[in-house]
Amino acid sequence: MTRFLMLGCLVLTLAACGARTERAPSGDRDLAGVGGFLKRAFATSSDEKMTSVPGGGLCGDPLLVGEVVGPVDGPGVCGIGQAVSVQSVAGVRLSQKALVECATAQALREWVVGSAKPTLAKTGGGLVELKVAAHYACRTRNHQPGARISEHGKGRAIDISAFRMADGSEITLLKGWRGKSGDKLKAMHAAACGPFGTVLGPKADRHHQDHFHFDVAQHRSGSYCR
Ligand SMILES: [Zn+2]
């Protein structure tokens, strides 16, 4: 029966990924981040990081807009202790509401403010929407039967497949990574490494040709980024 449940989960969603879930101190991130800290301190003295978004305050963060959902149960080991449904991040809307835990929402906010928005500030009038390819879903990593449950099954992961600009244009991972937007996408991929514990993209494997997988798993050796 459990096996049937697992298989049912598998067919529900897109490509997958995931990692271990232990939380550990992220000291090496902090040590490596002195330069980043200075950059952030200067970059945010007057900009949106200090400004609340109307309706914001989700997870205690003025830049996160959405609703508190509360506990999400199973099946099996799947579920989220305290789930939130995120609608927009620092003024950038999500193409679909993302069911995640607060740590995931906060990591996404850090990446949107610190990388995605500034990287795309001069492209098509600026970033207005992230295309969310997957959020909460009870399934195994990469949909492989018998594999560990993905971080998606715990509300600790989000997949982003495209970026929509104010002028309506769109940059997709599938076309952009090896196209003219490659440099920008690679910069955003690199910058996610830190806010997120696991970052996977087109150079990771065949399962990630068309999206970034971000999750907040903690790894003993620091962030895992491919
Ligand atoms: Zn994923």
Residue 188: inside a domain: yes
Distance 68 CA to ligand 1 centre (A): 22
Domain interval for residue 142: 2-18+28-39+101-225
| 48: in domain | no
Q: How many separate domains does the chain show? A: 1
The pLDDT tens digits for 101-146 are 999 999 999 999 999 999 999 999 999 999 999 999 999 999 999 9
Residue with tokens 């594999």: 147
Q: What is the mean pLDDT of each run of 10 residues along the chain (226 residues)?
A: 43 40 39 43 45 91 97 93 98 98 98 98 98 96 92 98 98 97 98 98 96 96 94
| C-alpha 213 to ligand 1 mean position (Å) | 4
Ligand 1 centre and the CA of 158: distance in Å? 6
Q: Let me know if residue 197 belongs to a domain.
A: yes
What's the pTM? 0.78
Confirm whether 175 is domain-assigned: yes
Average pLDDT of every residue of the chain: 84
3-state secondary structure the chain: CHHHHHHHHHCCCCCCCCCCCCCCCCHHHHHHCHHHHHHHHHHCCCCHHHCCCCCECHHHCCCEEEEEEEEEECCCCCEEEEEEEEEEECCEEEEEEEEEEHHHHHHHHHHHHHHHHHHCCCCCCCEEEEEEEECCCCCEHHHCCCCCECHHHHCCEEEEEEEEECCCCEEEHHHHCCCCCHHHHHHHHHHHECCECEEECCCCCHHHCCCEEEECCCCCCCCEEC
Calculate how far, in angstroms, residue 109's C-alpha sits from the geometric centre of ligand 1. Answer: 17
Ligand 1 centroid – CA 39 distance (Å): 29
* pLDDT, position 136: 97
Ligand 1 centroid to 73 CA: how many Å? 20
Q: How far is the CA of 146 from the centre of ligand 1 (A)?
A: 17
The CATH number assigned to the domain holding 137 equals: 3.30.1380
Query: What's the CA-to-centroid distance between 41 and ligand 1, angstroms?
Result: 30
In-domain check, residue 85: no
The answer to the question of residue 173 being in a domain is: yes
Answer yes or no: is 214 within a domain. Answer: yes
CA of 137 to the centre of ligand 1 (A): 10
Distance of CA 46 from the midpoint of ligand 1 (Å): 34
Q: What digits encode the pLDDT tens for the residues 74-90?
A: 899 999 999 999 999 99
Task: With respect to residue 114, please indicate whether it lies within any of the assigned structural domains.
Answer: yes
How far is ligand 1, taken at its centre, from the CA of residue 15, in Å?
A: 7
Query: Hey, how many other C-beta atoms are within 10 angstroms of the C-beta on 169?
Result: 11
As given in the structure block, the two tokens for residue 94 are: 């999500």
